[in-house]
Amino acid sequence: MTLVTSTSAEVDVGAPASNERGSLSAYVLLAPAVIWMTLFLVVPMAMIIYVSFWTQTTFKIEPRLTLDSWQTFFSSDAYLSSLWTTLRIWLIVLVTTFVVGYPTAIYVGLFVRNKTLQTSLLVLCVIPFWTSFLIRVLAWRPMLGKEGAINIILMKAGIITQPIEALLFTDLSVVIGMTQIYVVFMVGPIAFMLGRIDPNILEAARDLGADFWRILRKIIFPLSLPGVVVGAIFVSVMVLGEFATSAALSGRKVNLLGNIIVTQVGSLKWALASVVGVILTAIMALVIAGLLRVVDLKKEL
């Protein structure tokens, strides 16, 4: 960025008139993208907020402003419990992706100093993304089911005598599925931050007698924090907007806010779907704002 600005600044000094022409042409170049995002992103998002106050009749919505749909949401146990389920699953998946991903990130970012090997390991993590997201989710069914691969392996190994039925169509299967799908978004940013740590710092700490746990707590973790925050933002945004994983792996037992939106739209209850949409947006904004408070990303990256 600095390079670009400095060269354009030099040009500008020579010809002050070109500055105006320059920014004019910049606006022309930028206009299609900005118009597209405004029309198809900002307007629809504003529409969600607006429609959440509309009046819902059986099959239609009318632009008569009312708080009915909001009251419906907050007076229904089913909807409120889906709000708590969403928050619970989000927090659990945030923790599991971190716990499962961090050691991998340490290995890739700190212990593998060979760039080629490092890149190939990361590519290996990304390859699953080349299969359709929905098929990746479905693939967990034959893994976790009563006659699934995990139960068969555990029984053959003599660890269990009865198949574990709690593996599929529960909270657990949703968490396992989501962790597998989203953990890479945690590993990537953390490994990136860890790869930038100067090995001499770790060397110095070791020479001064610090053991690995102390180095991990005092040096590695603080330096990786921006990566953790970026990863947490990725995972949060995706998990909070989820509905397909829970639809496929919970047997309709886990209802996230996303699932509520889908069913409400399915029965043409647009106003209530919009209320859920606004709540989801608000949660997401709070989560992102909160995470950004942990570190100043602009300074760190």
Partner 1 sequence: MESRVLKPILAIYVALFLLFLYGPFIVLGILSFQQGPEGGPQFPIVEWSTFWYQHILGLAPPSRVSPLPIGISLFRSMTLAFMTMVTSTVLGVMAAQAFRKNFRGKTTAFYLIVLGMIVPGVLVGLGSALVATTTGIERHWWSTAFATHVVYTLPFAFLVMLAIFNRFDSTVEEASWSLGVSPSRTFRKVTFPLIFPGVLSAMLFAFTLSYDEFSRTLFSSGREQTLPLAIYSTFSVEIHPNIFAFGVLTTLFSFALLTVYAVLMMLSVRRARRVAIQEAI
Per CB under 8 A, 205 contacts partner 1: no
193 versus 279: smaller Cβ distance to partner 1 = 279
Q: Which of residues 114-173 bind partner 1 (CB under 8 A)?
A: 121, 124-125, 128, 130-136, 138-143, 145, 147-149, 152
- The first and second tokens of residue 33, run together, are 């993208």
Given phi > 0 = left and psi -120 to 50 = alpha, else beta, which region is 181? alpha
Q: Which member of 55, 104, 170, 263 binds partner 1 (CB under 8 A)?
A: 104
The count of other CB atoms within 10 Å of the CB of residue 232 is 22
Per CB under 8 A, 17 contacts partner 1: no
Per CB under 8 A, 292 contacts partner 1: no
What residue spans of the chain are helical by DSSP H? 2-14, 16-37, 43-51, 68-75, 77-106, 115-126, 133-138, 140-144, 149-156, 171-195, 199-207, 212-215, 221-240, 244-249, 257-266, 270-294, 297-300
Alpha carbons 101 and 182: distance in angstroms, whole number: 10
Q: Which member of 188, 226, 227, 258 binds partner 1 (CB under 8 A)?
A: 258
Written as one string, the DSSP assignment of 207-239 is HTT--HHHHIIIIIHHHHHHHHHHHHHHHHHHH
38-46, 65-73, 80-88, 223-231 -> range binding partner 1 (CB under 8 A): 38-46
Determine contact, residues 197/223, Cβ cutoff 8 Å: yes
Site string for partner 1, 64-103 (x = CB under 8 A): ------------------------------------x--x
94 versus 280: smaller Cβ distance to partner 1 = 280
Per CB under 8 A, 45 contacts partner 1: yes
Per CB under 8 A, 1 contacts partner 1: yes
Residue with tokens 């100043």, as numbered in its chain: 296
63 versus 158: smaller Cβ distance to partner 1 = 63
Q: Which member of 180, 224, 250, 255 binds partner 1 (CB under 8 A)?
A: 180
